[in-house]
Amino acid sequence: MNLPALADLLASRGLRLLPGSYAVPVELLVQLPDATIVQFTARGTTLRLRSYSPDALTAITIPAECGCGDHHPQTGPTRVTLSRYAVPLAERTVDGELEFGWRHHEAGLLPLADATTHFLDLLETLHTRTLVGVA
């Protein structure tokens, strides 16, 4: 699986994969149908899903390397990312050491297809717990 295939899979579920998502190590920024943003990361032995309000996204411009304007434009490409001031609304984690016996950095080695399964599972628990808390 690659990011375009993942984007198609998520789109079929009404989700939108956002720029700033990476396949290795897996880091996904996804917009939910209600415009909420979720960030999924697989690092060390931890799988983590955090949800953010829609206004947590920001765009940053990467400066050109030399900045002189002779060899490169003064400004580089724009990247979409979470604001450094963004505060998660909710968080779900899987401790891979407890769940799977991981010892080092196995989460960071997960292929995108395997990580996507965990992402969808965590997303389901995020919605379930949110709905239970509201009711």
Q: Summarize pLDDT for 18-66 with one digit per residue, the tens.
A: 988 999 899 999 999 999 999 999 999 999 999 999 999 888 877 766 6
Alpha-carbon span 18 to 21, nearest angstrom:
6
pTM: 0.82
DSSP state of 74: S
User: What CA–CA distance (Å, rounded) separates 43 from 1?
Assistant: 19
Assess contact for 50 and 91: CB atoms under 8 A: yes
Q: Quote the mean pLDDT of the chain.
A: 86
